[in-house]
Homo-oligomer: A and B are copies of this chain.
Amino acid sequence: MSGPESARASEEALIARYFAPLAGEGAEALRDDAARLTPAPGHDLVLTADAVVAGIHYFPEDPAGSVAVKALGVNLSDLAAKGARPRGFLLTLALPPDWTEGWLAAFAAGLGQAAVRHAFPLLGGDTVRSGGATLISVTAIGEVPAGAMVRRTSASAGDRICVSGTIGDAALGLRLRLDPGAAWIRRLDAGARAHLADRYLHPRPRLALAPLLRRFASAAMDVSDGLVGDLGKMLAGTGLTARVACAAVPLSPAAARAAAADPAAFEAALTGGDDYEILCTVPPAALDAFAEAAAEAGVPVRPIGTVVAGAGAPVFLGADGRPLGFARGAFSHF
């Protein structure tokens, strides 16, 4: 239990030095206890919150700027999947007893760069002692035209299932660090390893897809806990399931090499977390237009399967047309 302290000035000073420069309109330079925000006329706000914890969602030795990019990125990824444009965020930063001002300065610098890149100002928050590991909780606020938020569980039978970018890089990037001696890793050159490590460290929220999801997608979510588990969540309780062709799942050259070297690496790519790609369903008639518009927006999307009526977990079909079994359904950070 904290007794009397005289360190409050230090918290105020830290906020003024590191966080006030990131404050957006309505945030009163973080000198008030709350911020004002109003959606543009005819728009809804979209709210989401995700936290990252040292030793659980990232390695304590990860660069502080990368941790900031991840904390914002995982939240921006949710906004992108809902078809939302970022408006601003609130930050709860819980620091361990041995925090350093160097770490905080690097964290704030990374946060500021990501906030500027995505036009995503800081609106408020809290700084506390964590009593343990560093924890960063972000509440992200976005905006969509009224009624246009793209939902998670609104797919229809017959819809095509699409994913953006490539799947599994981050999961393999994590394994690269957890088990650097694995046989498949020795088959990768330095460039491939760096690609996987970077995908784990730096989520790339697919905000360029947000307006296209509103226009073309019947349902969407981001892939944060692994493609296999997240597709299951998307369809759970809807009376729908899915058939996915594993060969159609887009892999980066690095992930493809890993998968060719070791079937366990392929399974990790499909079931591991931290992709932060978009998983969506699109009516068949809209598929070509969606893919074309996405390519123009700079984000490749690829159809990997089809929504079908029925119960049970989505079926992932191997190259021989037979369903694959996975040792584990989804990645859990919990």
Interface residues of A (CB under 8 A from B): 1-12, 28, 31-39, 43-57, 59, 78-79, 81-82, 84, 90-92, 94, 96, 123-133, 135, 137, 139, 141-142, 144, 146, 149, 151-153, 177-178, 221-222, 225, 229, 233, 237, 272, 328-334
> Across the interface, do B123 and A47 meet the contact criterion of CB distance under 8 Å?
yes
> Across the interface, do B31 and A152 meet the contact criterion of CB distance under 8 Å?
yes
Return the 10 tightest CB-CB contacts between A and B, nearest first: A132-B132, A131-B133, A8-B332, A139-B139, A34-B48, A92-B137, A11-B334, A49-B90, A137-B137, A5-B332
Asked whether A130 and B135 contact (CB < 8 A) given A36-B149, A49-B92, the answer is: yes
Tell me which residues across on chain B come within 8 A of A59, comparing CB atoms.
1
Q: In the docked arrangement, what's the CA distance between A178 and B43, Å? A: 50
> Across the interface, do A3 and B178 meet the contact criterion of CB distance under 8 Å?
yes
> Across the interface, do B47 and A128 meet the contact criterion of CB distance under 8 Å?
no
> Across the interface, do B48 and A330 meet the contact criterion of CB distance under 8 Å?
no
A41 to chain B, nearest CB (A): 10
Asked whether A329 and B8 contact (CB < 8 A) given A123-B47, A132-B132, A135-B135, the answer is: yes
> Across the interface, do A11 and B332 meet the contact criterion of CB distance under 8 Å?
yes
Tell me which residues across on chain B come within 8 A of A49, comparing CB atoms.
90-92, 124-126, 139
Q: In the docked arrangement, what's the CA distance between A153 and B128, Å? A: 23
A273 to chain B, nearest CB (A): 9
Q: In the docked arrangement, what's the CA distance between A307 and B125, Å? A: 28
Q: In the docked arrangement, what's the CA distance between A225 and B222, Å? A: 40
> Across the interface, do A38 and B44 meet the contact criterion of CB distance under 8 Å?
yes
> Across the interface, do A331 and B8 meet the contact criterion of CB distance under 8 Å?
yes
Q: In the docked arrangement, what's the CA distance between A229 and B81, Å? A: 43
Q: In the docked arrangement, what's the CA distance between A206 and B14, Å? A: 29
A163 to chain B, nearest CB (A): 16
> Across the interface, do A329 and B6 meet the contact criterion of CB distance under 8 Å?
yes
> Across the interface, do B48 and A1 meet the contact criterion of CB distance under 8 Å?
no
A39 to chain B, nearest CB (A): 6
Q: In the docked arrangement, what's the CA distance between A3 and B271, Å? A: 12
Residue among B45, B51, B90, B139 making CB contact with A94, cutoff 8 Å: B51
A330 nearest in chain B by CB position: B8
Q: In the docked arrangement, what's the CA distance between A332 and B126, Å? A: 13
Asked whether A334 and B8 contact (CB < 8 A) given A46-B36, A47-B90, the answer is: yes
